[in-house]
Structure 1
Amino acid sequence: MATQAIVTSGGTGRRRRSSPPPDFSPRRGAWLDTARRRNLTGWGFLIPAALLITLLSFVPMIQAFILSLQTGRGSRLNWADPLWMNFERLLHDEIFKLTMFNTVFYLVIQVPIMLILAMVLANLLNDPKLRYKAVWRTMIFLPCAVSLVSYSLVFRTMFATDGLVNDALMGLGLMHDPLNWLGEPWTARFVIVIGLIWRWTGYNMIFFLAALQNVDHSTLEAARIDGAGSFKTFWYVTVPQLRPMIVLTAIMSINGTLQLFDESWSLTKGGPSYNSMSMSHYLYELAFLKNPNVGYGSAISYVILIMVAVLALIQLKVGDKRD
C-alpha cells in the first residue's frame, strides 16, 4: 500500500492529502494476453507443418497398411482371405529372402567401413596444421553431389569386362583373364558396396567435422601431457566425445541402406538373377512393373519400416549413456 504524504498549510491549519504515486506494475491480464498471443503465434507456425507431415507421411502409411491387407492386380483389389495373407506369403517368397540377405549384406559390410573411414578422414582434415583443408574437404565431399546416373554410368564402364579395373588388375599381374564384375553374384554385390562407400563417406565426414569443433581441446592436451600417442588420444579421448554424432550417422546410414534402391537399380539392375537386388528394388518391381501387385508390395514396405524402426530403437538405447 502506498504511503500518503500529509501537507499542512501555513495559516489555516488545513491539511491536504497528496495523490498516491502511479502504479507501474504490470497487470496480470496484460501478461496473460501476451502469453496467449505468443502461444497462438507458435501454433500458427506449427500447424501448417504438422498438417503437411500428416498428409504426406502418416496418411500414406495408413493407406499402405490397408493395401497390405488386400490382394489383386492393378486397381482391382479385394480384401485378402485371410487378411494377413500377404505377410504370410513373405515367409515363403525365396526372392524376398534373397533381397533381404542382399540388403543386410550391404548394411553389415558398407556401414561400418564407411563410418570408420569418415571419422578418420574428419580427424585428419581437422588438423590445424594441414594446408589446403578446404580443397581436401571439397574433393572428399564431391562424390555426394555427383548425379546418381552419372556415377552409375562411370562405375558400369569401369567394372565392365573390358573396363579400367580389369585392365589395371591384369596390368599389375593380379589377374590373367578379365572378370565379369557385374555378371557374378558376389562381385556384383561388392561393386554396389564400393559405390556406396565412394558416394557417402564424404557426406558423413561433414557431420564428424562439425562434431569435432565441439571437442574440448583441454582433454586432448591433457592426454598428450600424460604421454598418450595420436591413436590412443583419438580412440580414448576424441571418440567418446563423438558418441552422439556416431549414433546419429549410424542411424541415418542404416536406415538409408535398408531402403537402398538407387544403386541396385542403376548399377546392376538387380542382377544377375536378383542376386544383387535390394528389398526396395524388389518392392518397386512388384508394385509398378511386371503385372503390378500393390498389396504384396505394401506388405514388403511395412517389413522394411519395422526393420528400420527396430534398429533405430536399438541404436538409441545403446548410444544413450545419460544418467
Structure 2
Amino acid sequence: MNFWPMLQAFILSLQTGRGSRLGFAEPLWANYERLLQDDIFRMTLITTGIYLVVQVPIMLVLALLLANLLNSPTLRFKGFWRTAIFLPCAVGLVSYSLVFRTLFANEGLVNDVLQAVGLISDPINWLGQPETARTVIILGLLWRWTGYNMVFFLAALQNVDRSTIEAARIDGANAFQTFWYVTVPQLKPMILLCAIMSTNGTLQLFDESWALTQGGPAYTSMSMAHYLYELSFHKNPNFGYAAALSYAILVLVAVLAAIQMRIGDKRD
C-alpha cells in the first residue's frame, strides 16, 4: 500500500508529456535536470528553507517553555491552559486561514492596533509583499503547531526523575540552571522526535501556503509542496515533472532526518 505507489511515482518522474499523454523522457533524467534550471523551484526551495530555519526552532523553544510552565505542580487551572494552547491545531484550516487573512488585511485588526500605538503611520500590505507574506505564514504555523509539540513535551516531562531536580536545587542550582542542565538533557529523545516531525512537516508544507497567501506575491511565499500541487493540477498539468519534484522533496526530508538523527541521537 505504501511502496507500490512510491515506485509508480518514480517511474512517472522519468516520463514527460501533458495530461495522460505520457512517454519516457529522453534522457530519462530530463525532469530532474529541469528541476535544477527551474527558477520557481529554486524560489520555493529558498522560501521553504526560510520557514524551516525560522519557524521550527522558535516553535520548539516555545513549546518546551510552555510545557515546562504548565507542568508546574503549583499552577492553577492547568487543564484549561493546556486545552487553550493545544486547541489551535484542532481548528479547521479554512476557518483559521480566513481569520488570519482578515486580521492581516490592509484594514484589518493588526494594522489598526499598530497604527493606534504609533508603530506605523500607514497600513502594511501584509499579504502583498514577499517578506511580510512569509511572516504571516510563519506566525500562522507558530500559532497552529506550537501547542501540538507542547503536548509531546508535557508527556515527556512526566518521565523526568523528580529526584534529579530536587538534587539540583539542594546543590544550589536556580530555576534556569535546573531546567537547562537537568530537565532538558532528559528530554533529548523527545526534542529529537519533535524536531524531525517539525522538519518533515515544514518541508511538506502546503496548507498555509495555499490558504493564507495563495503562494503570492509572484510565488515568493509558495512552498515546494504547493508548487507540486500547481504543477499537478493547474497550468497545463505535468505529472512527470511533478513526480520528479516530489522525489526531490523526499530526498530533502530523508537527508535532513538522517542529519538530525546523527547529531541528536547519542545512544550507543
TM-score range, shorter chain: over 0.9
| TM-score after normalising by structure 2 | 0.99
- Counterpart check, 1:320 vs 2:265: yes
Corresponding residue for residue 63 of structure 1 = 8
Corresponding residue for residue 26 of structure 2 = 81
Corresponding residue for residue 297 of structure 1 = 242
Provide, for residues 51-103 of structure 1, a one-character-per-residue CA deviation record: whole Å limited to 9, x for no partner. xxxx2x21111001000000000000011000000000011100000000000
- Of residues 47, 61, 78, the one that matches 1:102 is 47
CA distance in 2, matches of 1:88, 1:201: 38
CA distance in 2, matches of 1:102, 1:124: 33
Higher relative contact order (CA 8 A, sep 6+): 2
In structure 2, give the amino acid aligned to 1:195.
Answer: G
Residue 305 of structure 1 and its aligned partner are, at CA, apart by 0.2
Provide, for residues 108-144 of structure 1, a one-character-per-residue CA deviation record: whole Å limited to 9, x for no partner. 0000000000000000000000000000000000001
Secondary structure, counterpart of 1:78 in structure 2 = strand
Unaligned runs of 5+ in 2: none
Residue 288 of structure 1 and its aligned partner are, at CA, apart by 1.1
Corresponding residue for residue 176 of structure 2 = 231
Residue 307 of structure 1 and its aligned partner are, at CA, apart by 0.4
1:280-291 paired onto structure 2 within 5 Å: 280-291=225-236
- Counterpart check, 1:214 vs 2:159: yes
In structure 2, give the amino acid aligned to 1:305.
Answer: L
Corresponding residue for residue 182 of structure 1 = 127
| TM-score after normalising by structure 1 | 0.83
CA distance in 2, matches of 1:314, 1:127: 34
In structure 1, give the amino acid aligned to 2:114.
Answer: L
CA distance in 2, matches of 1:317, 1:264: 30
Corresponding residue for residue 118 of structure 2 = 173
CA distance in 2, matches of 1:112, 1:173: 30
Provide, for residues 180-203 of structure 1, a one-character-per-residue CA deviation record: whole Å limited to 9, x for no partner. 000000000000000000000000
Residue 314 of structure 1 and its aligned partner are, at CA, apart by 1.1
CA distance in 1, matches of 2:181, 2:131: 37
- Counterpart check, 1:194 vs 2:139: yes
How many residues of Structure 1 are paired with residues of Structure 2 in the alignment? 268
Residue 154 of structure 1 and its aligned partner are, at CA, apart by 0.1
Larger radius of gyration: 1
RMSD between aligned alpha carbons? Answer: 0.5
In structure 2, give the amino acid aligned to 1:192.
Answer: I
Secondary structure, counterpart of 1:77 in structure 2 = strand
In structure 2, give the amino acid aligned to 1:133.
Answer: K
In structure 1, give the amino acid aligned to 2:74.
Answer: K
Unaligned runs of 5+ in 1: 1-54
- Of residues 235, 255, 277, the one that matches 2:222 is 277
Secondary structure, counterpart of 1:161 in structure 2 = coil
In structure 2, give the amino acid aligned to 1:130.
Answer: L
Residue 309 of structure 1 and its aligned partner are, at CA, apart by 0.5
CA distance in 2, matches of 1:301, 1:320: 28
In structure 1, give the amino acid aligned to 2:202.
Answer: T
Secondary structure, counterpart of 1:276 in structure 2 = coil
- Of residues 69, 73, 84, the one that matches 1:124 is 69
Secondary structure, counterpart of 1:130 in structure 2 = coil
CA distance in 1, matches of 2:223, 2:36: 17
In structure 1, give the amino acid aligned to 2:257.
Answer: A
Corresponding residue for residue 256 of structure 1 = 201
In structure 1, give the amino acid aligned to 2:89.
Answer: C
Residue 316 of structure 1 and its aligned partner are, at CA, apart by 1.1
Secondary structure, counterpart of 2:37 in structure 1 = coil
Secondary structure, counterpart of 1:91 in structure 2 = helix
Runs of at least 4 residues off by over 3 Å: none
CA distance in 1, matches of 2:267, 2:230: 44
